[in-house]
């Protein structure tokens, strides 16, 4: 529990929320400013900042609840679902309690994805090597 965190306050009931699901370790509720109606936020009950510091255990629970939420949206009329998580300010994170957006989508609803552009082979290969080394080191250290 982080006393300055608005999602912790939602968990304690100090801030009201429109709950759609709850279990021992996760909580799901409607986003106050939905992209489409039914936009769900799924959060762990134990405070973490984002994907960079959540425990593997809480992450597994969060994933399971996200899957349920996505299936419930499809069962109630959504035609597709985006699962999005913004991590740190440059990526658009505003609330610093781990949360995944489960966004119902409809054909022609007008929301578009970001567009990628091609990069040089050298740039791609240099980043590939850097990341591969880092991931190997992390795997060895785990």
Site string for Zn ion, 24-43 (x = CB under 5 A): --------------------
DSSP at 53: T
Q: DSSP assignment of 104-117, as one string? A: EE-TT---------
Site for ligand 5GP in 78-97 (CB under 6 A): 86, 92-95
Q: DSSP assignment of 19-51, as one string? A: EEEE-SSEEEEE-SS-SSTT-EEEEESS---ST
**Residue recorded with tokens 């290969």:** 125
Q: Which does 135 bind (CB under 5 to 8 A by kind): ligand 5GP, Zn ion, none?
A: none
27 scored as a contact of ligand 5GP (CB under 6 A): no
Beta bridge partners of 29: 19, 41
**Applying CB under 6 A, which part among 23-31, 103-111, 117-125, 132-140 lies near ligand 5GP?**
23-31
**Residues involved in catalysis:** 99
Name the site residues for ligand 5GP (rule: CB under 6 A). Answer: 6, 15, 17, 29-33, 86, 92-95
């Amino acid at each position: 529990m982080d006393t300055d965190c608005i999602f912790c306050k939602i968990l304690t009931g100090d801030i009201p929320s429109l709950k759609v699901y709850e279990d021992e370790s996760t909580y799901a509720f409607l986003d106050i400013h939905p992209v489409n109606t039914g936009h769900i936020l799924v959060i762990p009950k134990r405070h973490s900042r984002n994907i960079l510091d959540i425990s593997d255990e809480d992450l597994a629970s969060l994933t399971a609840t996200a899957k349920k939420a996505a299936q419930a949206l499809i069962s109630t009329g959504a035609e597709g679902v985006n699962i999005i998580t913004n991590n740190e300010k440059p990526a658009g994170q505003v609330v610093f309690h781990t949360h995944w957006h489960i966004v119902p989508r409809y054909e022609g609803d007008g929301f578009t994805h970001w567009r990628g552009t091609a990069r040089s082979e050298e740039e791609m290969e240099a980043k590939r090597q850097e990341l591969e080394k880092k991931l190997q080191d992390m795997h060895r250290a785990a």
